[in-house]
Amino acid sequence: MSVRSPIRIVEVGPRDGLQNERTILPTEVKVAFVNALSKTGLSEIEVSSFVSPTWVPQLADAEDVFKRIERAPGLIYSALVPNEPGLERALAVGVAKIAVFTAASETFNKKNTNATIAESLERFRPVVARAKTQSLPVRGYVSTAFYCPYEGKIQPERVKPVAQALLDLGVDELSLADTIGKATPRDLRALLETVLLFAPQDKLALHLHDTYGLAIANALVAWEEYGICAFDASAGGLGGCPYASGASGNLATEDLVYALQASGAQVAVKPENVVAATKILASYVKRSSESRLGRVLQPSA
């Protein structure tokens, strides 16, 4: 095996995870959670989202969370930003990196953001431009990059124009998301073969969901076969898939880290510390741990 770059884990539990949990957590619990995650070796934590509190009440305290967390040196604390007002709010509290969110499926994008993909991209243009004047790196999510809950299979050719448009706007990183967890290694290879023709490998991240148990298989293929070194994951598998009630959603950070480390990848994260960080949420998120490692380390039986 050739020498590989270290793995970069983008922890999305505090944002993508908590956004999809029913309970709204107290600000101090979120702060404690982010602070605990800061001590696990993660590269980046997506802390919150500067969307309208009307749409996502779970993250209405984004400013407060950012003001109160203790920022560890070298760790990037990022946030989702839907538009220019959101960016100004983010800038006011010193967000270090922003993410914009669109999809490869027109129906999904419309239902999620009330805009066409083209409209979303136009909305991002001034956001990315302003972020650049502030030297903020920008990530662009491409949701439903494999399957859409409304449209079914999304061919790589439909991901291409969205990904290309985001790169043209100036995003520094693309996160290709398997929103409903249906991607197989075959689907993954097909998408990466297409995207790697125009996007550099080191600008690609994968956002995998483990709804059907395929996420680890996909992550290992992406790393072993394509050298992809950036992966999103959610501590404790936080964030059930909203399209399949009760199903597991996000890939658990600790399971991803375990699998990559066991496979020989260089990952600075200590998975047992991630499991420990999720304990902070135990009395608020009323579900058994969605992670395999969580069960090994904290047997409930």
Is 208 among the residues that bind a copy of itself (CB under 8 A)?
Answer: no
Residue ranges in 160-179 that form contacts with a copy of itself under rule CB under 8 A: none
Stretch that binds a copy of itself, among 55-63, 71-79, 164-172, 247-255 (CB under 8 A): 247-255
Q: For 271, how many CA atoms within 13 A lie in the half-sphere containing its CB?
A: 24
Q: How far apart are CA 256 and CA 246, in angstroms?
A: 21
Q: How far apart are CA 17 and CA 210, in angstroms?
A: 13
Q: How far apart are CA 62 and CA 141, in angstroms?
A: 19
Comparing CA positions, the residue from 299, 238, 207, 177 lying closest to residue 30 is 238
Stretch that binds a copy of itself, among 58-66, 114-122, 132-140, 241-249 (CB under 8 A): 241-249
Is 110 among the residues that bind a copy of itself (CB under 8 A)?
Answer: no
Closer of 29 and 244 to a copy of itself (Cβ): 244
229 catalytic residue (yes or no): no
Is 185 among the residues that bind a copy of itself (CB under 8 A)?
Answer: yes
Closer of 120 and 250 to a copy of itself (Cβ): 250
The SS3 call for residue 10 is strand
Q: What DSSP designation does 115 have?
A: S
Stretch that binds a copy of itself, among 12-20, 77-85, 192-200, 259-267 (CB under 8 A): 259-267
Residue type, 139: R
Q: How far apart are CA 116 and CA 51, in angstroms?
A: 18
Q: Looking at the annotation, which residues are catalytic?
A: 241
Interacting residue ranges for a copy of itself, rule: CB under 8 A? 182, 184-186, 210-214, 216-217, 220, 224, 240, 244-248, 252, 255, 258-259, 262-264, 287-288, 291-293, 295-296, 298-301
